[in-house]
Amino acid sequence: MDRRRSEAAGRRRAGVAVLGLAVVAGACSSPVEPVDEGGSEGAIAYDFTLPRADLPVYRWPSGSTVRLLVAGGGDAERARLLADALAGAIAEWESALGEGVVRFAVTDRVEAADVVVRWSDAPAPVDLRVCEPAVRGSAATTFCPAPDGRGLLRFPAVGGAGGESAVRMVVTVLASEARGERRVRQLIAHELGHVLGIGRHSPDPSDLMWEGALTRVGPSPADLATVQRLYETEPDLVP
Ligand SMILES: [Zn+2]
């Protein structure tokens, strides 16, 4: 079997399809409106299930710490932009999530990371060929079910880490988005919503998990109600 066919077969074994959760193309060219942080009473959760009948609900065990590694590439300025956006997005979610849901931590060791956050053109510390990111919009969160059906596929490490990695999700931000702190922070915050387990998009344009042009940098009351509901629901898939 030639290499290409072998890789295709490997992908089929890894899962039926890559679960790319992308911000739609409209988001990348639309002007970003001022944030309206006005409180909305009685926020209602929206549907958080993946559009897959076999694996509708994925989430981390309650109380988990999810470790993220920033792969910013060789450009120090772009690496800083990504790292700062991640720190801001983590603060937004953590200040809003209650105790016992999920915490985030940043690591620089691929062996310890659960999630890699990267620019689309930067070398990744894990082998992406096993579950290739498909970014149709400005950013995407990519993961694949493990071949044995238990949890998510672990991306093999590349370089000096000996092939072992705990990375199960890859957040990819298009390199062309590296032009503004607020924009990158919005995209990362949105993708962290997918990392937490929100498997589709909000129908309300004022929510962070809307799929079009984002107007906010942090989760809305409805986004929070959705995550709270998610973490009260038994998962079908635990990363
Ligand atoms: Zn999305």
Cα of 21 from ligand 1 centre, angstroms: 5
In sequence order, the 6+-apart residues with CB closer than 8 A to the CB of 208 are 186, 189, 190, 193, 202, 214, 216, 217, 218, 219, 220, 223
- The alpha carbon of 223 and the centre of ligand 1 are apart by a number of angstroms equal to 12
Q: Is the pLDDT of residue 65 over 90?
A: yes
Flag whether 2 is in a domain. no
Does residue 57 belong to any structural domain of this protein? yes
For ligand 1, the distance from its centroid to the CA atom of residue 135, given in whole angstroms, is 10
Q: Is residue 236 part of a domain?
A: no
pLDDT at residue 31 greater than cutoff 70 = no
Ligand 1: distance of its center to the CA of 112 in Å? 25
The CATH number linked to 87 is 3.40.390.10
Whether residue 237 lies inside any domain: the answer is no
Tally Cβ neighbours within 10 Å of residue 47.
15
> How would you classify the pairing of strands 21-22 and 64-71?
unpaired
The verdict on residue 32 lying in a domain is yes
Question: pLDDT for 91-104, tens place per residue?
Answer: 999 988 878 889 99
d(CA 39, ligand 1 centre) in Å: 23
Distance 225 CA to ligand 1 centre (A): 17
State which residues form the domain around 15: 7-230
Domain assignment present for 239: no
Task: Quote the ligand 1 centre to 79 CA distance (angstroms).
Answer: 22
Domain count of the fold of the chain: 1
Q: How far is the CA of 156 from the centre of ligand 1 (A)?
A: 25
Residue 1: inside a domain: no
The answer as to whether 216 is a domain residue is yes
Interval 93-132: pLDDT, tens: 998 887 888 999 999 999 999 999 999 999 999 999 988 8
